[in-house]
Structure 1
Amino acid sequence: MATKKEKSFLEAPRIPELLDPLTIEDYEIQDKQAFENSRIANGKLADQSADKVSFDRVVFENVFFERIALERAEFTDVVFNRCDLSNVNFRDSILHRVQFNNCKLLGFDLSNSTMRNVRFDQCNGQYSVYRFTDMKQVGFFHSNFDKADYYEASLAKIEFVETGIDQAQFTGARLAGIDLSSCEFLSIGVTLEGLHGCIIGPDQVRGFAHLLGVVIKE
């Protein structure tokens, strides 16, 4: 598959050169707690639940999240490098200028969230959830998001580049203007109305034949 040129509409996180090292394992995270100008590296954050926590200009490096629920959190200018956020609950959160690089995101839940200038690069996001999420200027690059759930999500200026989306659920979402031509999938869940205006490659037409009620003859 030919490599597709990536667009540059995403704003990168604004991270200061100097960040204070922070061992977050020492904290019992409280509701409305704020973390700023910090680098959190090589640790494990487990069995934490809090509401309206904010992270501003924070870098997570090689952090393992286990049984974490931070609902209605705010992430501004945040980078996750080589982190495991599988089954983490960030529902109803706000993400602005956030990057996930080489992260494990199996079952990661961002339902009902607001995402602006968010980039996923070389991530495993299978079964991750973005139901009813407001997504604008979000990019998925060289990743695997098979079986991810975008049910009723609002999608604007979304980029999928060489990313697996097989059996991803887009029912209730509109894919107009979204280019899936470099993605790998046999089928995705989408309505005919939602597919209108989507850009696909000629070898992907078969995956949508059922929407038209036709059979493609070999």
Structure 2
Amino acid sequence: MVDVDLARLTVRPLDASTWDAYAALMERHNGVFGGCWCTFFHTMSADKTYDADDNRALKERLVRAGRSHAAVVMDGDEAIAWCQFGPPAELPNIYHRKDYDATTTQPPDYRITCLFVDKRYRRSGVSAVAVQGVLDLIAEAGGGTVEAYPHDNAGARVSVLYSGTRALFERAGFTYDRPKGTKNCVMTRVV
């Protein structure tokens, strides 16, 4: 564990200028989740494979084309976390999609689909910095309705690596909307 001074952290958008730092974070964690490179929520098209090198290349193409968005939390020049967001057309592949579609009345402007913190920085408040970074980036882009799909942990302390917890999003000003699947929920906030 690193002694974290949250005040020294900065948040930058994932783009060509932050790609190398983001890639280094991913590589320190073996591409995350078996080499996903945070591509699962983008697509299950022919471009998406289960090969880490292919997923890395896909993610880099999407980032450089402006079709993959995230708030990248930086400690100096090192990326230590990210929180992925984007419009539903950019991130169509969410867990429990059938359940979600059956209960959706209006799609959001943005989705938050993936949240990851370097193992050295976990349980130190960095997730909250990443979520706030997304909200700030969305505000800079003009705002809108934002949905997140965290674990609904009923207040219990749980380890969640990719979506955060209901309590994390409540602290960030989101409100509970409805359940999604057996352990997740839909939460919303207008920015």
TM above 0.5: no
Scaled by the length of structure 2, the TM-score of the pair is 0.28
More strand by share: 1
Higher relative contact order (CA 8 A, sep 6+): 2
| Structure with more helix by fraction | 2
TM-score by length of 1: 0.26
